[in-house]
Amino acid sequence: MSNTQTPVVNRTLLIIATVVGAPLCAALLGGFSTIDRVAKPNAATEAPDAVIARLKPVGEYVLAAADANAGGAVDGAKVYNGLCAGCHAIGAANAPKAGDKSAWGPRIAKGKDTLYSHALNGFQGTAGVMPARGGNPKLTDDEVKAAVDHLVKLAG
């Protein structure tokens, strides 16, 4: 009996050996090569302060109120630039843009008391939403009113 194989059988065995053997060898060799690369715990990097520092956000956005006690009158422009401009400069959430006479005209016609009330207490109209105190509950009534006065002046 001859133990010779046909070329078709040889090719089939070669394909099977390649499909099964190559990934198996790669898995074995890859597994052995990463054994020494496993990070070992380090007391300095695992300390709670070090973990907090690694997880700290890249930046922070702080909404700060203007200091009402710094020099008497509240600067409405400063309050506007520090908070209100975030929406009113670009028209976010359908906020009327600063200086847009056509958008501010009907609002101004309702009177300053209405504008103050909407800015202080919040308002939801058909066109958009005004959060109470512009979303910063730390703003004083005088700061909110000064910002409203500044916006009315811009719509001049």
Delimit the domains of the chain by residue range. 76-155
Res 10: pLDDT: 81
Res 22: pLDDT: 83
Q: What angle do CA 28, 30, 31 make, to 5 degrees?
A: 65
* Helical axes 101-109 vs 141-155, angle rounded to 10°: 130
30-87: pLDDT as tens digits:
766 555 555 666 666 677 888 788 777 766 666 665 555 555 689 999 999 999 999 9
Cα–Cα dist 3/22, whole Å: 27
Say what the pTM is. Answer: 0.55
pLDDT higher than 60, residue 1: no
- CATH architecture of the domain 76-155 equals Orthogonal Bundle (1.10)
Res 84: pLDDT: 93
Res 14: pLDDT: 86
pLDDT higher than 70, residue 21: yes
103-137: pLDDT as tens digits:
999 999 999 999 999 999 999 988 788 999 999 99
Three-state SS for 44? Answer: helix
37-49: pLDDT as tens digits:
556 666 666 778 8
What residue type is assigned to position 111 of the chain? G
